[in-house]
Amino acid sequence: MTRRSLEPLLWLLFSAGGVLSALFLPVLLLLFGLALPLGWLPPPSHARLIAVLGNPLTGLVLFLLCLLSLFHFAHRFRYTLYDGLQIKHLNELINLFCYGAAIVGSVVAVYLLWNVP
């Protein structure tokens, strides 16, 4: 019996993370990094932001954005180490650190999104 590889699943997470990161992160950075601090748009009240973050759908979307972006980074960094630095002999260690960091970051995202006041 042959053992199936997790590689297709990792490539799926990589591509989904790349697409979502490219679509949503620039908009969020523009809004919360430039438009609101510089006064181009009127800032929402703290209560309004907490209400939006308290919505389960918003939490799910932000969690998926964090999760997929972290897996995109992990997969890209893994192959950068493989091809750029030619350290394929450390395959298991690199996988553990790259994907482990993505999993830990996702758990932190769940914790932060779950504990919105």
Specify the CATH architecture of the domain 9-114. Up-down Bundle (1.20)
Average pLDDT value for the chain: 90
pLDDT higher for 2 or 39? 39
Identify which of 101, 48, 34 has the alpha carbon closest to the alpha carbon of residue 73.
101
The pLDDT tens digits for 36-45 are 999 999 999 9
Q: Provide mean pLDDT across the span 25-50.
A: 93
Query: If 0-12 CB within 10 Å is exposed, 13-18 middle and 19+ buried, where does residue 85 land?
Result: exposed
CA distances, 79 to each of 72, 90, 105 (Å): 11, 12, 19
- The residues spanned by each domain of the chain are 9-114
